């Protein structure tokens, strides 16, 4: 379960699903012309960045009855995470290079805090809390050098306290590993500059790595690289045994061959990164691009999406074997449901699809569409009320 995995609450959330608690939220919501009704219903809630222009950018939360809480951000968001302690607070991180992120109260629908990037820094789209919610870590980069930074923020006041070097360029997704207390960072290794936008300037020398940092000292506990030199580690999730499962994006223009490069893999602290070599014909469908990663802890299955290939593929975490693939136009968001039995997929056309985590077959009768909504790269599923997660 991605969002939970990201903040270290995955298995607790997963096991606590039956714990009933909390009052119903009181947010007025409206979906596609439906009559407004009060609050999000108890049960699984999907949160995602949304929108395709300034007036539609924001965060949305959707419950099982299709009630929607929409919050405008004014900037294009990327990933979402939940505050581990504040029962209705979610954070939306600015897409790289972002200069703002927001904290949102899902009961009131209000923006409760705006986090501004420090001078000379930009947000890179992802962030994660430590398990007690006292500290927030955000992936950031030096605007001039692209040197990776982890912004360290007070988890209560959202005051930026300090920063940690990530030992690489262009960090993207970050995770907190509750067992080891380390922060895992995907250093994409790509150099971009504000004046040239998203153009990659260091294809010849790019150096992507997966780094584990001690959050208190900033010390690099471990740094590993994958064997594919032009593959950029971008997205990750944590399996039940704290194996970090990651997805890659290949800079094809930097390669002098047209062979298929594995895009999925995993790593455990102290080990060697493993690339999933199985089923290259399926990997080819991803077109060198993984947009998001999520693990179903219950079934030990990792899901990967590719909006370029219009597919979501699934590999076994235990042995790295390919397990299944589904087609879904422009799919990027993926997470496991709180009970672990299904994956949720989202796309930029405002659609959700469910995939059975055991059979890995899509469930057509569970399809949902939210007209006018455009789900961006990542989604997160959690039980509502959020207290139920603990």
Partner 1 sequence: MNGTHHLYSRSGSAIQLTASSLILALAPGCGDDEGPSGPTTEQALEYTTDAVIVPSVLAFESSTIDLNDRVTAFCAAPDAPGLSSLQQAWVELSLDWNQAVIYFFGPLRDDLIVPSMLFIESKRQRGRDFTETVREGIDAAVHGSEALDASYFEGLPFDEVGLLALEILIFEDTTEAHSTESGDVLSEYEAEPRKCEVLRGMSELLLGRARDVAEGWTSDFEGTGTSFRDRFVAGELEDGDDPTATLFVALLDHLGYVDQRKLRGTLDARVAGIFYDNVEATVREVSAALEGGDGEGPSFFDVMIANGAESDVETIREAVDVALEIATDVRSRQNMSVAVQALAESIRARVPPALDIDLGIEFADGD
255 Cβ contact partners less than 8 Å away, ≥ 6 residues apart: 230, 261
To partner 1, the closest distance from the beta carbon of 98 in angstroms equals 11
Place of tokens 């010390």: 219
Find the radius of gyration of the CA atoms of the chain.
19
Contact between residue 283 and residue 323 where contact means Cβ atoms under 8 Å apart: no
To partner 1, the closest distance from the beta carbon of 281 in angstroms equals 5
Interface residues with partner 1 (CB under 8 A)?
52, 78, 95-96, 125, 170, 172, 188, 190, 192, 198, 200, 232, 234, 249, 251, 253, 258, 260, 281-282, 284-285, 287, 289, 291, 307-308, 311, 325, 327-330, 332, 347-349, 367, 369, 374, 376-377
To partner 1, the closest distance from the beta carbon of 327 in angstroms equals 6
100 Cβ contact partners less than 8 Å away, ≥ 6 residues apart: 73, 74, 75, 94, 114, 115, 116, 117, 123
- Shorter beta-carbon distance to partner 1: residue 374 or 389: 374
- Shorter beta-carbon distance to partner 1: residue 208 or 382: 208
- Shorter beta-carbon distance to partner 1: residue 95 or 389: 95
To partner 1, the closest distance from the beta carbon of 323 in angstroms equals 14
Helix then strand then coil, in percent of the chain rounded to 5, is 10, 45, 45
- Shorter beta-carbon distance to partner 1: residue 311 or 380: 311
Cis peptide before 18 (omega within 30 of 0): no
User: What are the residue ranges of helices labelled H in 196-331?
Assistant: 280-283
- Shorter beta-carbon distance to partner 1: residue 14 or 314: 314
To partner 1, the closest distance from the beta carbon of 93 in angstroms equals 12
- Shorter beta-carbon distance to partner 1: residue 102 or 290: 290
DSSP string covering 96-150, please? Answer: SSBSEEEEEETTTTEEEEEEEPPTTEEEEEEEEE-TTSSEEEEEEEETTT-EEEE
Contact between residue 242 and residue 290 where contact means Cβ atoms under 8 Å apart: no
- Shorter beta-carbon distance to partner 1: residue 106 or 210: 210
C-alpha 121/C-alpha 138 separation (Å) is 11
To partner 1, the closest distance from the beta carbon of 25 in angstroms equals 28
């Amino acid at each position: 379960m991605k969002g939970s995995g990201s903040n270290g609450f995955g298995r607790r959330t997963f096991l606590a699903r039956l714990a009933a608690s909390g009052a119903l939220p009181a947010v007025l919501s409206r979906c596609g012309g439906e009559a407004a009704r009060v609050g999000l219903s108890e049960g699984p809630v999907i949160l995602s960045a949304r929108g395709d222009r300034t007036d539609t950018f924001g965060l949305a939360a959707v419950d099982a009855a299709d009630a929607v809480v929409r919050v405008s951000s004014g900037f294009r968001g990327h990933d979402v995470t939940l505050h581990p302690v504040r029962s209705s607070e979610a954070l939306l991180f600015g897409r790289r290079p972002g200069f703002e992120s927001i904290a949102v109260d899902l009961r009131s629908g209000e923006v409760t805090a705006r986090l501004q990037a420090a001078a000379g820094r930009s947000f890179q789209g992802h962030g994660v809390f430590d398990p007690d919610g006292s500290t927030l870590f955000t992936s950031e980069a030096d605007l001039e050098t692209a040197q990776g930074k982890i912004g360290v923020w007070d988890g209560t006041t959202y005051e930026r306290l300090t920063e940690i070097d990530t030992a690489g360029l262009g960090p993207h997704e970050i995770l907190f590993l509750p067992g080891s207390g380390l922060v895992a960072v995907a250093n994409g290794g790509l150099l971009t500059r504000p004046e040239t936008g998203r153009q990659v300037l260091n294809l010849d020398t790019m150096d992507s790595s997966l780094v584990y940092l001690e959050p208190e000292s900033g010390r690099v506990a471990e740094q590993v690289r994958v064997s594919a030199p032009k593959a950029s580690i971008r997205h990750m999730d944590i399996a039940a045994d704290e194996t970090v499962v990651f997805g890659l994006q290949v800079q094809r223009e930097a390669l002098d061959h047209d062979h298929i490069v594995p895009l999925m893999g995993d790593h455990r602290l102290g080990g060697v990164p493993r690339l999933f070599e199985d089923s290259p014909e399926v990997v080819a469908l991803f077109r060198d691009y993984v947009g998001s990663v999520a693990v179903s802890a219950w079934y030990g299955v990792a899901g990967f999406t590719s909006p370029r290939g219009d597919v979501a593929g699934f590999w076994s975490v235990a042995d790295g074997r390919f397990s299944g693939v589904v087609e879904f136009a422009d799919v990027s968001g993926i997470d496991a449901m709180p009970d672990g039995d299904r994956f949720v997929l989202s796309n930029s056309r405002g659609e959700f699809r469910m995939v059975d985590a055991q059979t890995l077959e899509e469930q057509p009768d569970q399809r949902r569409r939210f007209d006018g909504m455009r789900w961006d790269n990542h989604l997160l599923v959690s039980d509502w009320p959020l207290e139920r997660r603990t």
